[in-house]
């Protein structure tokens, strides 16, 4: 089996006085789908750019596909697929040309590049638009073309920085499906996201980042089990209510408009609140999510 695609040890990145990434350590296994979850400014994209070899690290150690990004940049990039936050497609070219020109940079012959482009247009469900200009595409189509472009060299690892930000739900689900297909093929995925549902959908394992540091690491299920309860009861009370969850022995997180109560049995807890005379104006029982983990760990919500 190949060695670990990414090994980071005390990895840091500073821009002047600002420390974007503050001594993080993590390892990615071959074929794994690994996510970095965190709010904007958590240091995810900076980490991504160090892994993609375009941004030099400030300190610490980093190994990507067995090489050092500082010394072996070109060789590493030849085996990486990168989907940056911006699509950066070439508006002067057609869809097919975008893919072919990109493939050429990896030393793929014109003929093979053409074949690969057609195959990837099919994969991205854009085959009928092969000769269209990039400008005619919707946001979701552009994203799919960008992902197709990242696959021209059949990369060993694909980096995706906020792959579905700004897309409508339908476009997101189509994209997830394509990414899931890649994962099935055994491609290692490293993605950043600030959507917890995206991390839950795609990641085998993830780190939660906040202010340049990793605050938790594990599978989505294990993180939920470790840091919060199985279920969450959301309750709303009138502003003048005096319910004290602490004395009721309930672990809770007060938010601006509602309170989250962590419990393994949401319905039971709600019933008990009602029998105790604390009937909420509205209530909701749901499964705990990574959002709750983030809130429990940092006291803040992911998307503000």
Partner 1 sequence: MTTATERSITLERPRPLGPLIHFLEHQFLRFRTTFRGTVVSGTVGPLLYLLGIGVGLGSQIDAQDSGLGTADYLQFVGPGLMAAAAMQTAASESLWQTAGLLRWEGTYVSVSNTPLSTGQLFFGHVLWIGFRVFVGSAIYLAVLAGFGVPTSLLALLSPFAALLTGMAFGSLISAWTGYTTKDQSYAVILRLGIIPMYLFSGAFYPISQLPAALEFLARLTPVWHGVRLCRGLIIQQDLNPSQALVHLAVLAAYICLGLFLGSRFFRKTLGS
Catalog residues that contact partner 1 under the rule CB under 8 A: 2-3, 15, 49, 52, 54-56, 65-67, 72-80, 82, 84, 86-93, 97, 101-109, 112, 116, 149-150, 153-154, 156
Q: How far is the CB of 301 from partner 1 (least distance, A)?
A: 28
Closer to partner 1 by Cβ: residue 84 or 288: 84
| Cα–Cα dist 165/125, whole Å | 20
Reading phi first (left if > 0) and then psi (alpha if -120 to 50, else beta), residue 101 is in alpha
Q: How far is the CB of 93 from partner 1 (least distance, A)?
A: 6
Q: How far is the CB of 220 from partner 1 (least distance, A)?
A: 27
Closer to partner 1 by Cβ: residue 86 or 244: 86
| Cα–Cα dist 35/291, whole Å | 14
Closer to partner 1 by Cβ: residue 30 or 218: 30
Q: How far is the CB of 162 from partner 1 (least distance, A)?
A: 15
Closer to partner 1 by Cβ: residue 152 or 270: 152
| Cα–Cα dist 13/31, whole Å | 27
Q: How far is the CB of 77 from partner 1 (least distance, A)?
A: 5
Closer to partner 1 by Cβ: residue 155 or 220: 155
| Cα–Cα dist 193/239, whole Å | 34
Closer to partner 1 by Cβ: residue 129 or 227: 129
- In terms of DSSP bridges, do strands 231-236 and 251-254 run parallel, antiparallel, or are they unpaired? unpaired
Q: Using only C-alpha atoms, what is the Rg of the chain? A: 22
Listing DSSP states for 218-257 in one string gives E-HHHHHHHHS-SEEEEEE--TT----TTTTT-EEEE-SS
Q: Which of 225, 162, 170, 221 is nearest to 190 (CA)?
A: 162
CA angle 78, 84, 89 (to 5 degrees): 85
Q: How far is the CB of 202 from partner 1 (least distance, A)?
A: 21
| Cα–Cα dist 259/232, whole Å | 10
Closer to partner 1 by Cβ: residue 89 or 189: 89
Q: How far is the CB of 153 from partner 1 (least distance, A)?
A: 7
């Amino acid at each position: 089996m190949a060695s670990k695609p990414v090994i980071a040890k005390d990895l840091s990145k500073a821009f002047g006085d600002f420390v974007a990434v503050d001594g993080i350590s993590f390892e990615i296994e071959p074929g794994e789908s690994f996510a970095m979850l965190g709010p904007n400014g958590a240091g995810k994209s900076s980490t991504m750019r160090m892994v993609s070899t375009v941004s030099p690290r400030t300190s610490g150690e980093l190994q990507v596909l067995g090489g050092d990004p500082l010394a072996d940049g070109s060789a590493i990039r030849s085996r990486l697929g990168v989907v940056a936050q911006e699509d950066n497609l070439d508006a002067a070219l057609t869809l097919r040309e975008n893919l072919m020109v990109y493939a050429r940079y990896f030393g793929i012959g014109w003929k093979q590049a053409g074949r690969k482009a057609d195959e990837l247009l099919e994969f991205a469900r854009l085959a009928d638009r092969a000769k269209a200009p990039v400008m005619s595409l919707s946001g979701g189509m552009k994203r799919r073309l960008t992902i197709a472009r990242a696959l021209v060299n059949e990369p060993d690892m694909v980096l995706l920085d906020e792959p579905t930000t700004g897309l409508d739900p339908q476009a997101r689900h189509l994209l997830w499906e394509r990414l899931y297909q890649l994962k099935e093929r055994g491609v290692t995925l490293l993605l950043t996201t600030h959507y917890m549902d995206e991390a839950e959908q795609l990641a085998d394992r993830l780190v939660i980042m906040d202010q340049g540091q990793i605050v938790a690491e594990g599978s989505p299920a294990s993180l939920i089990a470790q840091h919060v309860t199985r279920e969450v009861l959301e309750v709303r009370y009138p502003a003048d209510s005096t319910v004290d969850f602490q004395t009721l022995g309930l672990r809770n997180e007060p938010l601006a408009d509602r309170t989250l109560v962590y419990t393994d049995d949401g319905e039971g807890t709600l019933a008990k609140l009602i029998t105790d005379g604390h009937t909420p104006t509205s209530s909701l029982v749901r499964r705990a999510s990574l959002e709750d983990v983030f809130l429990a760990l940092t006291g803040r919500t992911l998307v503000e």
